[in-house]
Each structure stands twice: as C-alpha cells, then as structure tokens.
Copies of this chain bind each other. A is one copy, B any other.
C-alpha cells in the first residue's frame, strides 16, 4: 500500500518540491524564542502544515505519526526532552507527519539565530557562518547537526526495519524498553524505572504489533520476573535478562518456554 503510485497524499511525493521551488520568501525570521505548552492529545502540528523553524522538546513526550489514505496510522517515533522535532519533517517547509503531545508537554521553537548556529556549528573549529565555499560544503554541511539528525533517523528506521523482520515480539519489546531506559538515563532520569506515557495502542503501532500481543509480552515479562508492570509505569527488575532477550532475535517467541534464568 505504501508503493501507491499516485493516489492521495502519500508521503512520498518529495520529488515535487525539488528543482523548481516557488520563490518562497525566505523563512520569516524568528527573533524571540517561543515557548509553548501542550496538553495531552494536543497537536504540535499536523501533516502538511508549513513549518519554518523546528522545535526542541523541553518537557513531556511526543509521538510523531503518519496517517495513510486507508486510515491506518503509522507511529514513527517518540520524542523525549532534548529531542529536536521538525528537522526531518520540514524539508520543503511543510511537515509530512503529525506530532502530538502524549501528556502535558512543552516545546521551545528555535530562533533563526539558533537555527543558523545549529547549521553551521557542526565543524569542530567554529568558523563564522558568513562564507560558504565549496570546500566547506563537503565538510561542515555534512557534519551539521541537521544532516546528522536526518542521518540518525535513517539509522533508527533501518534498525527498526531489521528488528521487525528478524525479531520476535519479546525481543522487540525488550529492545524498546532498554532503549527508552537508556534515553531516560541520558537525560538524568532513572535507568530502571520507566514511565511510558503512550497508550498501548501507540506502542504497539510503533513496534508493529497488535495491542493484545504487546499486552501478552508485558505479562510474560512480569511472570518471568523481569519487570514490574503497572500500565504506564514499568520497573526493570532483571536488566541482564532483558538484555539477553533483546539480543536473542527471532529465537525468543512468546511460546518458547525457555526460561532465561
């Protein structure tokens, strides 16, 4: 269904916006930083909206997703404090995915100056952003956080793809939990106590599972003593065990009764 040639709005139409751009007046400069607070289920933006400056998540968690013609929803990722939102979505100045707050959250839209600084600060030695030679092109541009942000996204999607193919339900969930825990601890949070503000439905969508299957996987981890589960609050009781399952790939099914300790 994805390969749809020319149906509706498939997020694959990037070609249209490449060579001949309407002479967009350069993005409105944004001089004062704008903060914005969102409630649960409130959208930061929808798909197809213009977006001149990206956001940085200050608090809370967001999910980004695409809705296809048939109504099915593809969850692309979750965004925690510190993450940039909108870089990969704003090519052509129009977002291709929607972003929604999962609980009360706040963002800060980057000012033009901050944006410029991000663009030009990639190179280690900070040259002034006021010249743009061909030489730099293959250097600072490639190393700019913008490129890296998109590059990381490609890597993440590649891994997600690989995981969906080779890995069982349980190792997918284990991987996600470990990654999430890692992200939390990088931000100064706890490494073993997770708060998952997304609904089971969203998490299942992200992992490519039915909600029932996801629920069963949680229950299995609970029964095996790996996790303490309380809907959106998870405690990791056996980190090594989880890591073993995450690494196990396709071998670890819901039915194989091989108790890893």
Contact = CB atoms under 8 A, between A and B. Distances in A.
Given A162-B2, A163-B2, A175-B1, A116 B143 contact: no
A151 B150 contact: yes
Contacts of A175: 1-4
A181 to B, nearest CB: 10
Interface stretch (A34-42, A129-137, A213-221, A225-233): A129-137
A26 B127 CA distance: 13
Contacts of A135: 20-27, 29, 112
A74 B162 contact: yes
Interface stretch (A90-98, A101-109, A194-202): A90-98
A164 B92 CA distance: 27
Contacts of A151: 14, 88, 91, 150
A252 B92 CA distance: 35
A219 to B, nearest CB: 21
Residue from A2, A14, A25, A135 having most chain B Cβ neighbours under 10 A:
A2
Given A2-B162, A160-B161, A167-B2, A18 B155 contact: no
Instruction: Give 10 closest A-B pairs by Cβ, nearest first.
Output: A20-B133, A3-B175, A2-B159, A116-B134, A24-B135, A132-B132, A17-B134, A157-B157, A2-B163, A26-B135
